[in-house]
Structures are given as C-alpha cells and as structure tokens.
C-alpha cells in the first residue's frame, strides 16, 4: 500500500480494512497547514539547515489530499465533532462524540438512540487488534471519539456527569472505556488521565498530592485489570511510569496512563517526575504489540498537545510536539511493510498560528 498524508474521513479508510491488513491513523490535533509549515522549518533548523527545504517524514508520501472536517452547527469546529467525523464518516455537532447530527449537546436521551459506529469498533468486530495512543487524557475528545458515544465531551468522569444523565443510562467516558465490550476489547491504550479512573480521595501514584476524581468510589484501573470477560483478561497489564513501560511485555492487553491529566509537552517531557515515554516510543510499542497479537490491526496515534500549545499561544511547545509526531510517523514507516499496510497522517482541524510579514529564508522560525 502507498502511504497517504491526508485530511480524511471514514469513507476513505473503510475499504482498506479488507486488504491493507495494518492501518495506522496519525492525528496531529490542531495541526493545520501553517503549523506543518512552521514545524517543518523548525525541524530543519534544529538539524542546522535553513529549514524551508526540510521535509517531515510524512511529507515524502506519494499522495496528499485536503478535505473539510467541520461541525454542523458552528463556524469554528472542535476536536469532538471533527474526530467523530473522521472515524464515523458523519459530520456532527460541536462538543459531541460519535453520535449523529440530530443529537443536541448534553442531551442524554437523544444520544442513547443516536450512536454512530466508529472505525475502531468495526475493526474490533472484524477481528482486528486495535490500539489508541495519545499525549492527552485518554478520555479527551479525540481519543474518546473512537470508543464513546456521548453528547458531551466534558463527561470524562462521573464527577462531570449530570445526575439526571446518569439516571437515564448515560455513562461517563472513562467508564465507557473500561466497559468497552466490542470484539475482545481494545488491546493497547496509552495516554494520560489517571485521575478520571481513580476514586475521589485516592492518591495518585506519581503525585500523592493529586487525588482521583471519581464520585462513585470505583477504581476503574483495578476493575479493568480483573475483568475476565476478555480471553486476554488474565494477561492484562497496567503501567504509569517510564521504567515500567520500558520493561513492558508485548503480550496481552495493556493500559498505560502516564499522568493524572494530559501527558507532558514534548519540550517538557524530560522534567517529568517519574518519566514518561515519548510519542515515538509509545507508537513503536503499540505497533509491535499489535503485530504480535494479530496479522491485522488498526491503531490511532494522536499528538494531542499541538492543539494545547496553540491554545496557549505557545508556538515553541506546539511545534516541538509536531516534531515529536514526525518522529512517531518515522517509527511507523520503518516498522510496517508498505505492501500490506496503510499509514495516514492528518489533522482534525487547523488553529491560530499564522506566518506574518516577509522574513528571509533561514530566519529562525521562533525568532523575530
């Protein structure tokens, strides 16, 4: 298979499940065209080049395309609606996850009758191994769109779930992930967001001063580990720090939650208290683990903190996370057989970064 660098939808990927065998979807959250341009220049300048002539690993692909991912009710979209469009093939509203466009944000009753199947769910039903890797909370909008069907992206744990929604049958996103029952379950789950899985009052293992958020008293990590509904249940592993991740076996299903909230920006990662793996390291592990489990797999990898850097007006952090995504794509390019794999690199939406004025070639992209 040829590789693709595209802004794509489910309609493009669906036929590949029958013959591609191994599909990896990379998502740079907020990584619009200007961000790719600036990331390319910074990556080149860090190598001692002028920068403009450099190519990111996914810019060498044979095919490039652009489509529009948008919300049906807003001029400026968010990650919930746009990632939902990417993995379901249906455009939907701002703030909702993998439900149809008729579902109003926050309307539990409508969401229960409006779920739309995701590509990851269909891959599980087809017997594929599956994985999700992200640098955000695993319950954040982009990763959650792969497995959750909720009308409010902020329902990440039950402390955010309105009592009437819970009584009506809606679940928070963390619980939805732990109770995911399609196929034999997601095989590799790596990201941040431990606090959403731990009960209120329970100390985080890395930061004892930070407590869990769950009001229902449930420790969802412990529940996931002892869940024997899956034939792989006895082999399940949980990790939360770098040295445990480095020693992790590739057999069985894996849950890695490396921060109470989002993982560190790549520029700050080495300062983490207990260490955490890079996006490239998580990608390498996920591919090897999924390859060991099945001939066919579907993996989603999100560089989610590009978006967060832009929200803060911090080009330094955002662009270093673009470079981290570039390294992760390079890992996939090396690990996969191009004759039976498909790699796609895209963004869910663009962001605020602009290049203004007329600087000469080679001008430091983070300078004046």
Give the chain's radius of gyration (CA, Å).
20
Pairing of strands 237-239, 297-303: unpaired
**How many Å apart are CA 303 and CA 324, to the nearest integer?**
8
CB 146 within 8 A of CB 300: yes
DSSP class of residue 135? E
Class of residue 48 by CB neighbours under 10 A (exposed 0-12, middle 13-18, buried 19+): exposed
79 is catalytic: yes
Q: What token pair was written down for 220? A: 């969802």
Q: Which of 79, 98, 111, 230 is catalytic?
A: 79
- DSSP assignments along 290-315, one per residue: HHHH-SSEEEEEEETHHHHHHHTT-H
DSSP class of residue 68? -
CA distances (Å), 305 to each of 4, 23, 133, 155, 363, in order?
Answer: 22, 23, 13, 20, 25
Annotated catalytic sites, by residue? 79
């Amino acid at each position: 298979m040829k590789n693709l660098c595209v802004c794509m939808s489910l309609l493009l990927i669906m036929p590949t499940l029958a013959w591609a065998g191994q599909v990896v979807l990379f998502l740079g959250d907020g990584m619009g065209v200007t961000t790719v341009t600036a990331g390319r220049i910074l990556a080149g300048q860090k190598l001692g080049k002028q920068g403009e002539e450099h190519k990111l690993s996914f810019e060498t692909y044979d095919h490039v395309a652009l489509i529009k991912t948008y919300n049906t009710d807003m001029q400026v979209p968010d990650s919930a609606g746009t990632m939902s469009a990417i993995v379901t093939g249906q455009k939907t509203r701002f703030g909702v996850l993998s439900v149809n466009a008729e579902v109003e944000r926050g309307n539990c009753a409508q969401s229960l009758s409006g779920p739309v199947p995701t590509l990851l769910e269909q891959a599980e039903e087809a017997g594929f191994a599956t994985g999700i890797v992200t640098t955000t909370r695993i319950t954040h909008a982009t990763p959650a769109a792969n497995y959750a069907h909720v009308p409010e992206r902020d329902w990440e744990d039950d402390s955010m779930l309105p009592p009437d929604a819970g009584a009506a049958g809606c679940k928070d996103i963390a619980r939805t992930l732990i109770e995911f029952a399609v196929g034999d379950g997601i095989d590799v789950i790596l990201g941040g967001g431990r606090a959403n899985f731990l009960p209120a009052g329970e100390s985080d293992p890395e930061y004892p001063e930070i407590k869990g958020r769950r009001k229902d008293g449930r420790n969802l990590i412990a529940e996931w580990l002892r869940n024997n509904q899956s034939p792989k249940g006895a082999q399940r592993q949980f990790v939360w720090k770098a040295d445990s991740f480095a020693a992790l076996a590739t057999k069985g299903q894996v849950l890695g939650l490396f921060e109470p909230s989002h993982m560190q920006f790549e520029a700050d990662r080495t300062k983490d208290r207990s260490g955490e793996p890079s996006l490239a390291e998580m990608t390498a592990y996920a591919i090897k683990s999924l390859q060991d489990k099945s001939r066919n797999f579907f993996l989603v990898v999100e560089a989610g903190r590009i978006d967060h850097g832009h929200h803060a007006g911090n080009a330094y952090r955002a662009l270093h996370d673009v470079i981290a995504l570039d390294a992760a794509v390079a890992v996939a390019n090396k690990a996969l057989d191009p004759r039976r794999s498909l790699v796609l690199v895209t963004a869910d939406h663009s962001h605020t970064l602009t290049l203004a004025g007329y600087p000469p070639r080679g001008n430091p992209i983070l300078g004046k």
